[in-house]
Amino acid sequence: MNVILETVLRLAGWLLIAPLLPGIINKVKAWVAGRRGPPVLQLYYDLARLWRKGVVLSTLASPGFIAGPAIAWVAVLCAAQLLPLGPAGAALSFRGDVLLLIYLLATARFCTAWAALETGSAFEGMGTAREVSYAVLAEAAMITAVLSLSVHTGSVTLVTMLAPAAGAGAVLLGAGLFVVLLAENCRVPFDDPNTHLELTMIHEVMVLDHSGPPFAAILHGASMKLLLFALLLTEAVLPVGELSPVAAAGALAGGVLAVTVGVGLVESLLARFAFRRVPLLLTMAFLLCLFALLVAWKGGEA
């Protein structure tokens, strides 16, 4: 009974807390610009409104247009259950679960791209091509960061890998993962979630034809993915697993808030990069994670 209750509470936490992060980012951006901005709970209102609306389907779309966002949402939620929450551990943990985490995130991206191509739109195809091309470099940095944590702890289980801090390479790893977070969540300087120019849109053009509950699933899945990467970054840098439950909860909340505010500041102070400069930034993220890997490797030898 306790296991069932804990699982339900974890699911409720991910479902209810995740939409808060985009609201905080928008509030930070509004504060920097000297505006009042939308309410912090704006995404909750948008999700409730979208859930009550109908679905507009293209005549070219197959059932994959609806199934894609649903599968992507489930994949992100399952990936979230693999992520440990400090001393509380993970809802599901086994040897090699970090590999499943990476594959689930890749599955979510594939399903989103699949649904975008179902519309037969040239613009959505263009955005999908850009998204996938950026993902190649972002996933390379992500895998290198995971290797760094694995070498540092000698484990391929997330609960063990994220228990201690990343050691001497924590700053390098944190910087690399933060850049990956911006890329994976389609934030500035890689993409602008508020843009409406078709020729410069990437992720937003992929979901341009979605409406109603499928669009709500896409927005909520994106907020869960942002929360997942914020928690992963926090636990990779801070020794959350070695703290008491109360201290760990405070560290996780503070770390996620700091990452969220950081995203808002980046979007306020930086402009979106030109397409030719994006691969250079992702390569820099890969190199930062690679240097963290080398530090963990040499530190383990010492």
Domain coordinates of the chain in residue numbers?
2-301
Count CA atoms closer than 13 A to 294's CA, side-chain side: 7
Three-class HEC string of the chain:
CHHHHHHHHHHHHHHHHCCHHHHHHHHHHHHHHCCCCCCCCHHHHHHHHHHCCCCCCCCCCCCHHHHHHHHHHHHHHHHHHHCCCHHHCCCCCCCCHHHHHHHHHHHHHHHHHHHHHCCCCHHHHHHHHHHHHHHHHHHHHHHHHHHHHHHHHCCCCHHHHCCCCCHHHHHHHHHHHHHHHHHHCCCCCCCCCCCCCCCCCCHHHHCCCCCHHHHHHHHHHHHHHHHHHHHHHHHHHCCHHHCCHHHHHHHHHHHHHHHHHHHHHHHHHCCCCCHHHHHHHHHHHHHHHHHHHHHHHHHHHC
Hey, what are 66's tokens? 């609806």
pLDDT, tens digit, 9 for 90 and up, residues 26-54: 999 999 999 999 999 999 999 999 999 99
Interacting residues of 69 by C-beta distance below 8 A, sequence separation 6+? 111, 112, 115, 210, 214, 215, 217, 218, 221
This prediction's pTM: 0.96
Of the pLDDT bands very low, low, confident and very high (cuts 50, 70, 90), residue 198 is low
Sign for the pseudo-dihedral over CA of 238, 240, 244, 250: positive
Indicate the pLDDT class of residue 120, thresholds 50, 70 and 90. confident
Tokens at 27, concatenated: 């509030």
* pLDDT averaged over every residue in the chain: 92
Yes or no: say if 161 and 153 are a contact pair by the CB < 8 Å rule: yes
Are the C-beta atoms of residues 200 and 217 closer than 8 Å to each other?
no
Q: How far apart are CA 114 and CA 55, in angstroms?
A: 18
pLDDT of 302 reads: 46
The pLDDT tens digits of the residues spanning 201-242 come to 788 889 989 999 999 999 999 999 999 999 999 999 999 988
**Tens digit of each residue's pLDDT (9 = 90 or more) over 55-83:** 988 888 889 999 999 999 999 999 999 99
